[in-house]
Amino acid sequence: MNKKLLGALFSVLVSSSFAAHAAGVTDAMIENDAKTTNDVLSWGMGTEAQRFSPLTQINTKTVSKLTPAWSFSFGGEKQRGQESQPLIYNGKMFVTASYSRIYAIDMKTGTKLWKYEHRLPEGIMPCCDVVNRGAALYDNLVIFGTLDAQLVALNQDTGKIVWKEKVDDYAAGYSISAAPLIAKGLLLTGVSGGEFGVIGRVEARNPRTGQLIWMRPMIEGQMGYKYDKDGNATANGVTGTTNKTWPGDTWKTGGSATWLGGTYDNSTGLAYFGTGNPAPWNSWLRPGDNLYSSSTVALDLDSGQIKWSYQTTPHDGWDYDGVNEFVTFNMDGKRYGAKADRNGFFYVIDATNGKLENAFPFVKKITWASGIDLKTGRPIYNENGRPGDPTKGKEGEKGETVFAAPAFLGAKNQMPMAYSPQTKLFYVPANEWGMDIWNEPVTYKKGGAFLGAGFTIHPIFDDYIGALRAVNPKTGKIEWEVKNNAPLWGGVMTTAGGLVFYGTPEGYLKALDAKTGKELWKFQTGSGVVAPPVTWKDGDTQYVAVVSGWGGAVPLWGGEVAKKVNFLEQGGSVWVFKLSSK
């Protein structure tokens, strides 16, 4: 080959490489995120949220040599709950922190490249600590939501604002805590605020500009909309049928917040969002199933229409949000989705049509229902398990108190589970606790707590609250469990190296044998871990990272459980690990 031809070929290769880099994160890259090992582009380590990595350098035989590579502190006094999952791309780690902050960190050295700190107004009303669970990457942008219900897109290289959009009124209780989802060129986001009588919804935007494309409410009776390039709205059909499952005006302040975000499965072409509790908690004020609260909904990306829905807790009276992530996987040649619900039951659902395949408990004590009818898909209620009607007593007094399990913080809450296609098991961070709960009279007031209930959370067992459980979705069997004194509030990751990683409020990041649950490694991070770990490979080196910083809903809402763990220290840092070269 002559020098001139060789030079021309080299120029083409360099130009192609530069063009690919200049294009930034593409739809194809996001679609393949779960398979690629040199980056982490989405919450869930892939839009299906299996949180499984094909990497094997760190495995059951080598994990004992895992040592810190670097640690980075978020700094300042804003050391509240840190629930963020880092993203990795182009030599940078992008990680959000409490109080609507985001950092870009050099992936190799832990050096801060830039920080964006969102200016928050007074009067924000986050329900469950000032947390943020992560960002999304698209093109050369990093996009995240804020506690005053805005979306912010920043330049990945500089941290400068490219666009910023107000989603809703924080004074009415709206906020954003979830990581956005990118699916087929759309930015999909939800809202928080169910405890304030907001209207939960899913929005689709152009990720490059922030322009709205469609909006779908999660309360039956509310209108959906599509938007043209000038931002003009066109009605896109009422969600469900007005007053069918929400009597009177109750659908106007019904909650059903989409506060944990969604997942997307390319094989079905559907996005899946979980919806939160109906408002108020006092279920006597809203007779009926209260669609589409405490549900999983499958959305068409082009129109925003609901293709199917499955309600895990119809007429919820215990704050059993159905927001838990819907993780799609293959079983017996079909595509299913799995959900470990706050109400204590694990659901296996056909991901294409919403038909229930299986449902079984994944915690030991459930009082509100005796089981799930597999033919109808509905719970078999325990009639005495619902808090009493306040109107049946004297005016202004509370209704009859009942003991309910799980507690309203759930058998599983925000902490994501993981699935291994090797073991065919789900690894679920579960909690065993109950509550005394009663209903009270309440009326809606903008920006005011809209509960109509009181509660006190209690541990159920003396020796543990949290338990990491290996769940077989086909049989319903718990293959193994590892108990934990404090409630588990951080997520899980599993790898082809035969490992399961998870964190504890006591401060440890741990690695277990995925087949047996045997503990193989642990490291003390200095504060409670309430975030999910990630892993990636740079060159010849595999890394593992986790955010450390105790907080979240447990110390705020945990009652007797909160008192039990009040010795835990707050913090705010990222820890990155690799195998020792020695």
Taking the alpha carbons at both ends of the chain, their separation in whole angstroms is 45
Chain Cα centroid distance, residue 354: 20
| Position 9 pLDDT exceeds 50 | no
Q: What mean pLDDT is predicted for residues 166-194?
A: 97
pLDDT mean across residues, the chain: 94
Six token digits for residue 44: 């869930």
Candidates 277, 237, 224; CA nearest to 254 is 277
Report pLDDT digits (tens) over 357-388.
Answer: 999 999 999 999 999 999 999 999 998 999 99
Residues tagged active-site: 319
H-run or E-run covering 524: strand 519-524
Residue 75 pLDDT:
87
Give the DSSP per-residue string, 261-276: -EEEETTTTEEEEE--
| Position 497 pLDDT exceeds 90 | yes
Q: Which fold has domain 25-579?
A: Methanol Dehydrogenase; Chain A (2.140.10)
Distance CA 169, CA 231 (A): 18
The CA distances from residue 15 to 3, 12, 372, 407, in Å, are 18, 5, 58, 58
Looking at residue 40, what DSSP letter applies? B
Residue 23 pLDDT:
66
Cβ-contact 182, 138 below 8 angstroms: yes
Residue 563 pLDDT:
83
| Banded pLDDT at 129 (limits 50, 70, 90) | very high
| Position 518 pLDDT exceeds 60 | yes
Candidates 264, 261, 204, 207; CA nearest to 34 is 264
Q: Is the bond preceding residue 390 a cis peptide, omega within 30 degrees?
A: no
- Spell out the residues 6+ positions from residue 449 whose beta carbon is closer than 8 angstroms to its own: 195, 196
Cβ-contact 430, 468 below 8 angstroms: yes
| Position 457 pLDDT exceeds 80 | yes
Q: Is the bond preceding residue 68 a cis peptide, omega within 30 degrees?
A: no
Q: What mean pLDDT is predicted for residues 246-275?
A: 97
- Spell out the residues 6+ positions from residue 329 whose beta carbon is closer than 8 angstroms to its own: 48, 50, 335, 336, 337, 338, 419, 421, 473
| Banded pLDDT at 145 (limits 50, 70, 90) | very high
| Banded pLDDT at 565 (limits 50, 70, 90) | confident
Residue 4 pLDDT:
46
Report pLDDT digits (tens) over 296-307.
Answer: 999 999 999 999
H-run or E-run covering 29: helix 27-31
H-run or E-run covering 22: helix 3-23
Percent residues over pLDDT 70 in the chain: 96
Which residue in this structure is represented by tokens 């039956």? 220
Residue 127 pLDDT:
86
Report pLDDT digits (tens) over 40-79.
Answer: 999 999 999 999 999 999 999 999 999 999 999 998 777 7
pTM for this prediction: 0.95
Report pLDDT digits (tens) over 84-97.
Answer: 999 999 999 999 99
Distance CA 271, CA 258 (A): 13
**Structural Rg of the chain based on CA atoms:** 23
Which is more confident, 141 or 17?
A: 141
Residue 219 pLDDT:
98
Neighbours of 149 (CB within 10 A): 23
Six token digits for residue 547: 């955010």
H-run or E-run covering 235: strand 233-238
Report pLDDT digits (tens) over 270-325.
Answer: 999 999 999 999 999 999 999 999 999 999 999 999 999 999 999 999 999 999 99
Looking at residue 251, what DSSP letter applies? G
Report pLDDT digits (tens) over 383-432.
Answer: 899 999 999 876 678 999 999 999 999 999 999 999 999 999 999 999 99
| Banded pLDDT at 11 (limits 50, 70, 90) | very low
- Spell out the residues 6+ positions from residue 376 whose beta carbon is closer than 8 angstroms to its own: none
Cβ-contact 192, 273 below 8 angstroms: no
Which residue in this structure is represented by tokens 């998870």? 502
| Banded pLDDT at 568 (limits 50, 70, 90) | confident
